[in-house]
Amino acid sequence: MSNDDQLKRGRSRFDVLQRAASALCRALPPQQRPPVKLMSLHIWALSTASPISSSRRAGVAKLPLPPEQILESAMLVYLRGLGILPPDSPAAAPSP
């Protein structure tokens, strides 16, 4: 796969992430909506950091949760902080 193809795929994936972030923000009043691109970058950073950090620590210490649950928990905290999810929403609790 060429560099150009990789860039196109990366842009396409980021576009999907931006559309998803925009859809999540529609529930908020317009004046309280975060910038979609910034929110997309935060989600991207969270989603790439979780598996990377867990793989680096694999030989050092056992993590209490698998990477996908760490990511899910981080996303719940982030979305609650933005006001997109209500605080302590039982429907949005991470799966055990």
For 83, counting Cβ atoms within 10 Å of its Cβ (0-12 exposed, 13-18 middle, 19+ buried), the class is: middle
Do residues 46 and 21 make contact, with C-beta atoms less than 8 angstroms apart? no
Q: C-alpha distances in angstroms, 94 versus 3, 70, 88?
A: 37, 9, 11
- Residue 51: the pLDDT is 59
- Residue 70: the pLDDT is 83
- Residue 59: the pLDDT is 60
State the 10-residue block means of pLDDT for the chain, 96 residues long.
Answer: 85 92 91 93 84 57 77 90 80 53
- Residue 49: the pLDDT is 73
- Residue 27: the pLDDT is 85
- Residue 23: the pLDDT is 94
- Residue 56: the pLDDT is 57
- The angle, 0 to 180 degrees and rounded to 10, between the axes of the packed helices 67-82 and 36-57 is 150
Sequence length of the chain is: 96
User: How far apart (Å, rounded) are the C-alpha atoms in residues 74 and 42?
Assistant: 11
